[in-house]
Structure 1
Amino acid sequence: MKKQIEATFIVSFQILLLFAGLGLTAFAQPKKPQFRVVALAEKGGGVHAPFVAEAKKWLTHVAASANFTIDYIENTEPINDQFLAHYQLFIQLNYPPYRWTDTAKAAFQKYIIEGKGGGWVGFHHATLLGEFDGYPMWPWFSEFMGGIRYKNYIATFAKATVRVEAENHPCLKGVPATFTVEKEEWYTYDKSPRPNVNVLATVDESTYSPDSNLKMGGDHPVIWSNEHMKARNVYMFMGHHPDLFKNDAFVTVFRNAIFWGAGQ
């Protein structure tokens, strides 16, 4: 009788261990990602390479803590409808609005106009609109950015104050009314995009240090969203210097933009 009880106990214990093992295996399996992100950053990147390197480190940390995946591409060759359908957010981290394949242009336009796939966050180079490196301007992208054309930039950089206009926009949540950017080129355009976009923040040209004559006359948007498009989208002009990732306001806007753009 005693042996029977011992045998039953051993079998029961083995069963418990088996179920415990199964439970631990299931627990150890990674959770399904909340969403998927693709980021476009040109190979090499020239003077923008340090910004991209720092951005990748920061994005790796954010993706791990918030449970989303991020893939990187270095040109527009992979982009088509099927490719974009896998992602809920497209980050144009460092890539101008030229050197895109025709297939990529058509797929991206559809992605933004129809808004069925996901959102977009663009930086800096995305408003380098004009004729560059033998490429014509992409008219649709100019329309997307508010109908503007690139005009000039402060090549020697300037420190300046950014002023938030749309404090209630999700991308500006937790961002102070003003914040300082230590080093930036502050592109100027042939006109303000304001009539065609929702301006979220502007740079105060009177705070340029050192001062510069390359100004837009007071109305100089640097963060905006084109609400004529169905895809959630936000453009942030800042995106040249790696020290931006030491700027709490910048990283807060970037983080907010990721989750808002991805519909989270």
Structure 2
Amino acid sequence: MLSLHKKAVAATALCLFCLLTTVTAQPSKFNVIAFFTAKNDQAHISFVHEANRWFPQMAAKYQFTYDTTSNWTNLNATFLAKYQVVLFLDTRPEAPEQRAVFQTYVENGGAWMGFHFAAFALTPSAYPQNWDWYHNEFLGSGQYKSNTWRPTPAVLQVENRKHPATKQLPQTFKSAANEWYRWEKDLRTNPNIDILLSIDPSSFPLGTGPKPHEIWHSGYYPVVWTNKKYRMLYLNMGHNDIDYENKTNKELSSSFDSADQNKLIIDSLLWLGSGKK
């Protein structure tokens, strides 16, 4: 039989274990679901795989859950009811019923974060601009117009230092390598759009070509913004550099090798998950 002293020590240890378990096993702050396709371009596939490795690490650190699906039929009201934040990692929904559900979700306060190709639309192409609400109203950018090539880092400047997504960033920082997009509409003329980051002029010339129009020498290019009517944030990042020339499809860059850019992404997600506009 245990002595009274040993029983007391054991009881104390059990209490401490229970207390520590209670402290560390905190409930998740919010739930995230990431939709992706990961079939259309090796650079986008590369980003999706990276994101699906990186976000679970952040989820463990910041106490949120991170689930993924490549089944876009899950974009329905019953499935989305479990989640406070939806991510589009590389594409958009195509079925009219999925688009309608997504619009209702964000109009009723659901949060969204989109990366790079999630905003792409070009008529004619495999992704035509056939969803006016999403591209013109929600994103505000309209169609894709052009891009830089090859994927290269850029110096980004913070336009709004008061926003929760950007207030901990330096005034300028170097991004990870990316293919940068230009858009049909001037977001500066839209009163609902809050541009958070743009390409700093010190980045020019941006891109290496070989085609002259793939190298930007001047201009204004927003790369991260929100629409103040919704809980949403779009980031142009999400295209790695890939060895297409030698047909190895080897990854030549990582979208998560900039500490400041990573800070932007996680602070954006924590803001979206907080439920605040």
* TM-score calculated relative to the size of structure 1: 0.82
Greater shift in the superposed pair: 26-35 or 37-46: 26-35
Deviation at 1:156, TM superposition (A): 2.4
Among 259, 268, 276, which residue is 1:248 paired with? 259
What's the counterpart of residue 42 of structure 1? 37
SS in structure 2 opposite 1:94? coil
What's the counterpart of residue 3 of structure 1? none
C-alpha separation in 2, matches of 1:259 and 1:81: 23
Deviation at 1:203, TM superposition (A): 1.1
Distance 1:135 1:62, change over 3 A: same
Distance 1:201 1:220, change over 3 A: same
5+ residue gaps, structure 1, are 1-5
Is the contact between residue 39 and residue 73 of structure 1 (CA under 8 Å) also seen in structure 2?
yes
Q: 1:1-264 alignment to 2 at 5 Å? A: 24=17, 28=21, 30-44=25-39, 46-47=41-42, 48-95=44-91, 97=92, 99-115=93-109, 118-131=110-123, 132-133=125-126, 136-142=129-135, 143-181=137-175, 183-196=177-190, 197-204=193-200, 206-210=204-208, 213-214=213-214, 215=216, 218-229=219-230, 232-241=231-240, 243-263=254-274
C-alpha separation in 2, matches of 1:233 and 1:24: 41
Q: Which of structures 1 and 2 has the bigger CA Rg?
A: 1
Deviation at 1:179, TM superposition (A): 1.5
Is the contact between residue 205 and residue 217 of structure 2 (CA under 8 Å) also seen in structure 1?
no
Greater shift in the superposed pair: 251-260 or 168-177: 168-177
Deviation at 1:25, TM superposition (A): 6.2
Per-residue CA deviations over 1:166-210 (Å, capped at 9, x if unaligned) read 011110122111122353221112232222211111113534153
Q: Residue type matched to 2:195 in 1?
A: V
C-alpha separation in 2, matches of 1:64 and 1:42: 24
C-alpha separation in 1, matches of 2:128 and 2:213: 29
Greater shift in the superposed pair: 220-229 or 203-212: 203-212
C-alpha separation in 2, matches of 1:182 and 1:91: 20
C-alpha separation in 2, matches of 1:216 and 1:82: 48
* TM-score calculated relative to the size of structure 2: 0.78
Task: Point out the structure with the larger strand share.
Answer: 1
C-alpha separation in 2, matches of 1:124 and 1:83: 24
Q: Residue type matched to 1:235 in 2?
A: Y
Distance 1:33 1:207, change over 3 A: same
Distance 1:216 1:228, change over 3 A: farther
Is the contact between residue 226 and residue 233 of structure 1 (CA under 8 Å) also seen in structure 2?
yes
Is the contact between residue 173 and residue 256 of structure 1 (CA under 8 Å) also seen in structure 2?
no
5+ residue gaps, structure 2, are 241-252
What's the counterpart of residue 247 of structure 2? none
Q: Residue type matched to 1:68 in 2?
A: F
Q: Residue type matched to 1:223 in 2?
A: V
